[in-house]
Amino acid sequence: MNPKKSNQSLDANFLKMLSGMGDSKNIWVTEFDSDSTKRFYDQFTDLERDDEIVIIPIFINSYGGEVYSLTAMRDLIKSSMKPVATIGIGMAMSCGASLLAAGTKGFRFAAPDLSILVHEVSSGNFGKASDIQESARVIKELNRKMFDNLAHDCGKTRKQLDMEIKRRNNADWTLTAKMAKKWGMVDEIGIPRMTADRTESVLGTMVPFDELVKRGLADIPKKPRG
């Protein structure tokens, strides 16, 4: 395989998608709030129902946002009958990093210059002591849920993740694409070319639909009766 030719193809495809002229069946996540969650749900369920779609591609370029939004998106991904590809470009920070790791194993990609950041949930709540105490309880539970999920998706134990966080005195944990792959957040470095019936990784390996079925990563769509 000619690496130069492969890179040119990837670059052209990437620029096409960034220009807004790429496949309309790509989902883009740039924010984590109630509005973005609603858009995500609408797009995701549409692709789930489309029998021509074999792999659901999600592109992530985000500073992060609300953890409740993250958990809603993650639940949709984990309940999907189709493999879900997560592709991080630009930045995958906080909720963005967790969503990146939530994709189907083998279909999680990081652009070479992707910036990844993992940190604890923060809150700027002020008010009565009882309000602050309740807020702290909620934040602690959100942290537990987010880090439990992240550790699971990376194939690590919660203790291993806690050790990484504590090694930095609970400060922000920044990772490069290579570090993320080593830690199990992503499976490949690069931007994949994707179509409705197959995906081509940056390594040039075609994964046809029948192979996905063999691996248990996709089901043969059933035609509606009538």
One DSSP character per residue, 185-216 reads S-SEES--EEETTEEE-TT--EEEHHHHHHTT
CATH code: domain of residue 19 = 3.90.226.10
User: Which is catalytic among the residues 119, 122, 135, 152?
Assistant: 119
Residue 94 annotated among the catalytic residues of the structure: yes
pLDDT at 223: 41
pLDDT at 103: 95
Cα 158 to Cα 74, 143, 147, 185: the distances in Å are: 18, 12, 7, 14
The whole-model pTM stands at 0.73
Residue 226: inside a domain: no
pLDDT at 98: 96
Consecutive H or E run containing 120: none
Residue 152 annotated among the catalytic residues of the structure: no
Residue 220: inside a domain: no
Q: Per-residue pLDDT for the chain (226 aa), expressed as one digit of tens each? A: 333 333 333 344 443 433 333 455 789 999 999 999 999 999 999 999 988 788 889 999 999 999 999 999 999 999 999 889 999 999 999 999 999 999 999 889 999 999 999 987 765 554 555 555 766 777 788 888 888 999 999 999 999 988 887 787 766 889 999 999 999 999 999 887 654 444 444 434 445 445 555 555 444 444 444 3
Consecutive H or E run containing 174: strand 173-175
Residue 19: inside a domain: yes
**Total domains in the fold of the chain:** 1
Residues 183 and 192 sit within 8 Å (Cβ to Cβ): no
Residue 222: inside a domain: no
Question: Domain limits at 191?
Answer: 3-214
Residue 221: inside a domain: no
pLDDT at 130: 58
pLDDT at 53: 80
Residue 75: inside a domain: yes
Least Cα distance to 117 among 62, 71, 166 occurs for 62
User: Which is catalytic among the residues 94, 122, 130, 201?
Assistant: 94
Residue 99 burial by CB count (10 A; 0-12/13-18/19+): exposed, middle or buried? buried
